[in-house]
A and B are shown apart, each in its own frame.
Chain A
Amino acid sequence: MKKLAAAIVGYKIIPFFILAFTAVAGLNPYFLTSYNVSSLLMQMSTYGIAALGLSFLLIAGYLDIAMGSVIAFSGVLLGILMRSSPFLHANFIIPSGIVLLVCALTGLAISFFVTILEVDSFVVSLCAMTFLRGAALVMANRKPVPINSDAFAALSQQLIGPVPIIFILFFALVLISEYLLSWTAFGRNLFAIGGNREIAGMAGINTRINGVLAYVAYYVLAGVAGLVLASRMNSGTPIVGTDAPLSIIPMLILGGTALSGGKGGAIKTLFGCAFLSLAFNAMSLFGIPSNLQDMVKGAIILVIIVSGKMYENRELKV
């Protein structure tokens, strides 16, 4: 248990991932089939993209659970926009852009409360999560908004070999995020802010602007995840994503992102995401019924969160 806890912190997730991968591949012949692999990569990508967004925020020291609602909201908004005119329906890139713009503006608004009014980021996210979920339900009139566009649906169906192009998108976003985090002043500023906000401020780093940018990145990436999901489901569904926070945060913890800020990375998150998706994929492959899967999922998430923090606090008595 302690060893698992130690691995959960830091890059050591990689050997564990390789181990798990080999184990599952060895135990289940169905695992390495092209269908399963592409379905696994596809599964990973939706929440993985949102997880990338959360990386920016967590590194900067902010916690947020609204991503599920943003995913639902963006899908619904896309559906409504595409439905509103044949032009927008045909050129879905435009409504997609509009959706992402709206997400960015929402992120801007939320960041106002957190960075300027200095309200606790979690409580704000609780409000945002509820509000956006409600907005999605209202806009969609409580039903999924169908998106009848073969071209749009094709985005989530195209493969190159066993690799869905959505995964390639995800991977590209991972690389871009890693670059931003390690090789730009913006990324390094986030680490500084998450590590110690006062010291970062005294060094002249504008904690507010960087915080706002992190929020915008987070909301836009969650929006992208929502678009991806809408493509997969051929509809903008207002009730999706309720399990997002509890699926995504463990991915980050597994990848070595500290909940307290100042630590983390895009590639780390990728591996955390891969590991968790692998675990859940394995559960399905081994035929575990869905009720039980949820319970196991919840238990795994708790184990990850608890052991991660337990390891961090191992020398403390209280």
Chain B
Amino acid sequence: MGEGSGRARLVVFMGRNISLLFLLALILIGCAGSPVFMTAKNILNVLRQSSVTGILACGFGLVFLMGGFDLSMGAILSLSSCLVIGVMKSSGFAEGLAIALAAGLAIGAANGVLINITKGDTSETFLITLGISLVCFSISTTYTNGYNLYYDSNGLETVFASIGQSYVWDIPVPVVLFVALLAIFQVVLKTTLLGRRIYLVGGNKKASFLSGIDVAGIKTLVFSLSGLCAGIAGVVMASRTTAAGPRIGEGYEFDACIAVIAGGMKIGAGKGGMVNVLVGTAILGILTNIMNLTGTDSVFQIMIKALILLLMVSLDSAKLAPSGVPAEKA
């Protein structure tokens, strides 16, 4: 189209790759701000601490591509972590794991079913998943009677402990899980028929329906996967922190949301995939790391994250990347 000056093209390039630039900027800030930033110990730490958010972001991203928000992930995470420890104490690790993951899957499916009943769009996903999260939190509270649950990592449950606390070839297991999930989802999205259907439903659900795609089935599946991710995240978190509580995951879906949006994913856009999740999780992880290293208060950290999300969505809305459609006046 011949847009003219090199400067305009630079702006377009920047607009399309804001996330990467942001990541780069953060890395530079980190290096400049603290001498420990680039150490192996710190990097490992960042990786390990971002993996729970990363696992959540995988699920959130899947739902986001399909045009929705899953705000129940934090609640599912809490429930799953309580269940895995609680059930494990009475019936062993395998059963605890199975029930925790099944719960995640089931609640995710419930999200999908409700959204299908309403034939709803993005706004309905907000509210329904919020409602489910309320129910979920109260289930957790009822299950634990409001207390936190603990397990002894030196005791009999060593398999469970190893999930959160041991390594595979020097990489922490949570990170391996995150990367594995990332890879699996990416392969599914980009190379399988199912992945194509997910993109199509996100792009235009009416046209997809009229083209024979099982929109309801896809929605239920995607939300179930998201619930499963939250379940996995809950197990990992319980294992790593050796504790679980009914509200332990509160607010984590917000982090997942930031990761996905900061990573450059646009809702229902057809482009983008798990690469955005990876970049976004890295951005969030490094940001949190920088804030920790500089001793920022935890509440301030949350406020800063809120501002960053606001910044990212504002930049996106300000439409730095032009399209070929003529602009109308007012």
Contact = CB atoms under 8 A, between A and B. Distances in A.
Contacts of B117: 306, 310
A298 B131 contact: yes
Contact of A117 (B135, B205, B317): B317
B254 A130 contact: yes
Given A122-B123, A309-B118, A291 B142 contact: yes
A127 interface: yes
Contacts of B124: 259, 305, 309
A76 to B, nearest CB: 13
A195 B53 CA distance: 38
B318 A117 contact: yes
A270 interface: no
Contacts of A120: 313
Contacts of B142: 291-292, 295
Interface stretch (A21-29, A131-139, A159-167, A217-225): A131-139
B126 A122 contact: yes
A285 interface: no
A165 to B, nearest CB: 32
Interface string A54-89: 000000000101000000000000000000000000
Report the contact-size class of chain A (Cβ under 8 Å from the partner).
35 or more
A265 to B, nearest CB: 20
A313 B150 CA distance: 46
Nearest to A253: B127
A154 interface: no
B33 interface: no
B303 A318 contact: no
B127 A249 contact: yes
Nearest to A302: B131
A246 B124 CA distance: 13
Interface stretch (B6-14, B232-240, B304-312): B304-312
A119 B128 contact: no
A149 interface: no
A249 B316 CA distance: 28
Interface string B214-228: 011000000000000
A69 to B, nearest CB: 10
**What's the interface size class on B, roughly?**
35 or more
A228 B303 CA distance: 26
Nearest to B110: A302
Contacts, number: 125
A317 interface: yes
A317 B135 CA distance: 28
A54 to B, nearest CB: 13
B139 A302 contact: no
Given A305-B128, A306-B118, A142 B299 contact: yes
Nearest to B127: A305
Contacts of B257: 126
A305 B134 CA distance: 14
A318 B206 contact: yes
Q: Is the interface of A mostly helix, strand, loop or mixed?
A: helix
B160 to A, nearest CB: 27
Nearest to B143: A291
A130 B297 CA distance: 15
B60 to A, nearest CB: 13
A120 B209 CA distance: 26
Contacts of A299: 135
B114 interface: yes
A228 B330 CA distance: 41
Tell me which of B131, B132, B139 has the highest count of chain A C-beta atoms within 10 A of its own C-beta: B131
A302 B316 CA distance: 32
A230 B40 CA distance: 49
A247 B303 CA distance: 24
Contact of A318 (B134, B215, B297, B305): B215
Contacts of A301: 131, 134
B119 A316 contact: yes
Contacts of B122: 122
Contacts of A123: 261, 309, 313
Interface in B113-158: 114, 117-120, 122-124, 126-128, 130-132, 134-135, 137-139, 141-142
B302 interface: yes
B134 A124 contact: no
A97 interface: no
A313 B116 CA distance: 11
A245 interface: yes
A297 interface: yes
B314 interface: yes
Nearest to B213: A318
A120 B119 CA distance: 21
B134 A246 contact: yes
B75 to A, nearest CB: 10
Given A117-B317, A309-B124, A245 B130 contact: yes
A172 B116 CA distance: 40
A316 B302 CA distance: 41
B169 interface: no
A113 interface: yes
Contacts of A130: 251, 254, 302-303, 305-306
A294 B141 CA distance: 10
30 contacts: A63-B123, A113-B314, A117-B314, A117-B318, A119-B313, A119-B316, A119-B317, A120-B313, A123-B309, A126-B309, A127-B306, A128-B306, A135-B303, A138-B303, A142-B299, A260-B123, A291-B142, A292-B142, A294-B138, A297-B138, A298-B135, A302-B131, A309-B118, A309-B119, A310-B117, A310-B118, A313-B120, A317-B119, A317-B209, A318-B216
Given A292-B142, A294-B138, A317-B209, 6 more contacts: A119-B310, A122-B69, A124-B310, A131-B307, A306-B117, A318-B205
7 cross-chain pairs, A with B, having the tightest CB-CB distances, nearest first: A298-B135, A298-B134, A294-B138, A134-B303, A309-B118, A130-B306, A318-B209
